Structure 1
Amino acid sequence: MLGEGPTYDPHTGTAWWFDILGRKLFEYRLASDALQVHDLSVMGSVLARVDDDRQVIATETGLHLRHRSTGELELITPIEADNGMTRSNDGRVHPCGALWFGTMGKSAEKHAGAIYHVARGKVTTLFPDITIPNAICFSPDGAIAYFTDTMAGKLMRVAIDPATALPTGSPEIFFDHRGGDGGIDGAVCDRVGMIWNARWGAGCIDGYSADGERILSLKVPASQSSCPAFVGPDADRLLVTSAREGLSDEALAADPEAGSTFLLDHPVRGPFEPDYIL
């Protein structure tokens, strides 16, 4: 229904992603084409490796530790746990081991969410009054963070401390998408600083240079493309999630691949995602 939060674990050759609204976690081994679907007790949207046995998942109640052998979830860092109106959305781990992730209203209520920084369990609110947090990713040197509020239509950049992932300056507009087709959604940054961003409603992945210029678009066969991830042994392929959420029967008939997850065989040079440090 709402594919989101794809990531890749090179230690096991496994891609992971969520159906947020369906409360499901997908585990896909690329080499064997084997898929497992795990039911979740909460809405989850971001996954990061901790070690061989554990993962951390951002959910509607905060960060849970997931034990891979059993699938058991253990709430370790409550965040908005007492706010039943909100859930987690986009997020990513910085090379220093800290996590940025955002929350939003379950019905996209205006300014109901925020973007948080979590480092070893300490929670810092970075940007409040966010409607739909997305596009969280980091430059190769860890000195710049990118993010957006999809409803605002502006892809932002902010200088951060590479050692802590905390902002050292004020956000600036990196790319102004106001008035453009679709909305800025999830993003990843490759080894040379190029940002690969899913454009919700436009069925594409856009490539932005580090100078803030949109230089190419890759078509995705589902209009509501939601988030890319670098996958494969060399992180040289893009996996892209999509969604069926909000589409009428008529729209679904015209968009039959909505909600599918895709592999785009366009050459990319992605880094592997860092581990989250407890």
Structure 2
Amino acid sequence: MPVSLVGQAGRTNRERGVQKLGQVSQWRAVDCGAVVKTDSGVRIAANVGNILGEGPLWHPEAQCLFWFDILRSKLYRMAGEGDVAVMDLPFMGSAAGWIDAGNLLLAGDDGFYVLDMESGSLHPHMVLEDDNPATRSNDGRVDPWGRFWIGTMGRKLEAAAGALYRLDGARLEVLKQDISIPNSIAFSPDRARAYFADSPSRNILALDLNPETGDILRQRVFASLDDSDSVPDGSVVDSEGYLWNAQWGRGAWCATRPTAASTGPLSFPLASPRARPSAGRI
């Protein structure tokens, strides 16, 4: 689903955003080594040594996979096996949605930016907690109506420092406050549910939506990890409605039916898998 940026851009960052207006970054090739196959059958396609790899996004028109290394302020692009490039960002990016064949909307630590993928130019779209240097963006995804959901959190993992927002063109709406580590933002294929987790709570919430408007009707606990040593991280929903959740600390992906019956873990050779790619378009 593309991101919808209909309407005039919102208030831009007067101190930092204007300095980035029109700033150009360049892609450069990355040597990510050979594809590694593990005993579980999982392939490590890009061994780039991310410190905090987040926000995988598949762009169906560009046929590229994008993701971020948040703490290094880098955006990665994979155009094919072994064809990986990286771009340095002037902010800490964490999530993205595609606008059209040539442009991405990036969520950063102080706002939203439109990236021209060919020229590398960045243009501020709207601020996001730019008056609070203690927070940054984290998990985000585009909903079936083209609106961008994004969560914020404390840079030092401060409890209840963040919030959950929804960007609808030129309007930014607060959906939840007092969030510690926002994760697991995903949407069911029938447009009836959104999913969200504040990771330290160990619960994944289901937010029942109006299938026509996307308005939130109610919320409930969808899955709980209280009996495990892991916490819910990023999630994605497949075409059959199964929620796949990366469980931080367990080194596993777990698929859960819409009725909340888990199918069990798919183990990975790492302690903290983050998220599977989505194809959100703004």
Tell me the TM-score normalized by structure 2: 0.80
Out of 104, 109, 117, the residue aligned to residue 60 of structure 1 is: 109
8 A contact 1:7–1:15 mirrored in 2 = yes
Alpha-carbon spacing, 1:157–1:218, altered in 2? closer, same or farther (3 Å): same
- In the alignment, residue 177 of structure 1 is paired with which amino acid? L
8 A contact 1:131–1:149 mirrored in 2 = yes
CA deviations over 1:196-244 (Å, ceiling 9, x no partner): 11011111111111111211211111101111125xxxxxxxxxxxxxx
8 A contact 1:53–1:68 mirrored in 2 = yes
- In the alignment, residue 156 of structure 2 is paired with which amino acid? S
Partner residue, 2:140? 91
1:111 matched to 2:160: yes
Q: Distance in 1 between matches of 2:137 and 2:214?
A: 19
1:190 matched to 2:238: yes
1:174 matched to 2:226: no
Tell me the TM-score normalized by structure 1: 0.81
8 A contact 1:96–1:163 mirrored in 2 = no
Q: Distance in 2 between matches of 1:53 and 1:163?
A: 29
Q: Which runs of 5 or more residues in structure 2 are unaligned?
A: 1-50
The size of the alignment, in residue pairs, is: 232
Q: Which runs of 5 or more residues in structure 1 are unaligned?
A: 231-272
Partner residue, 1:221? 269
CA deviations over 1:28-68 (Å, ceiling 9, x no partner): 012x5300011011001111110122110111112111111
Over the aligned positions, Cα root-mean-square deviation in angstroms equals 1.2
Out of 259, 266, 269, the residue aligned to residue 211 of structure 1 is: 259
Out of 206, 209, 231, the residue aligned to residue 157 of structure 1 is: 206
1:133 matched to 2:182: yes
- List 4+ stretches of structure 1 deviating above 6 A: none
Is the deviation greater in 68-77 or in 88-97? 68-77
Out of 267, 275, 278, the residue aligned to residue 281 of structure 2 is: 275
Higher-Rg structure is: 2
Alignment map for 1:230-245 (pairs within 5 Å): none
1:44 matched to 2:93: yes
User: 2:191 aligns to what SS in structure 1?
Assistant: coil
**Shift of residue 274 of structure 1?**
3.5
Out of 82, 90, 94, the residue aligned to residue 33 of structure 1 is: 82
Q: Distance in 2 between matches of 1:91 and 1:190?
A: 17
User: 1:151 aligns to what SS in structure 2?
Assistant: helix
Q: Distance in 1 between matches of 2:132 and 2:239?
A: 38
8 A contact 1:103–1:132 mirrored in 2 = yes
Q: Distance in 2 between matches of 1:39 and 1:162?
A: 39
- In the alignment, residue 102 of structure 1 is paired with which amino acid? G
Q: Distance in 1 between matches of 2:142 and 2:211?
A: 12
Q: Distance in 1 between matches of 2:114 and 2:159?
A: 30
Is the deviation greater in 71-80 or in 180-189? 71-80
Partner residue, 2:169? 120
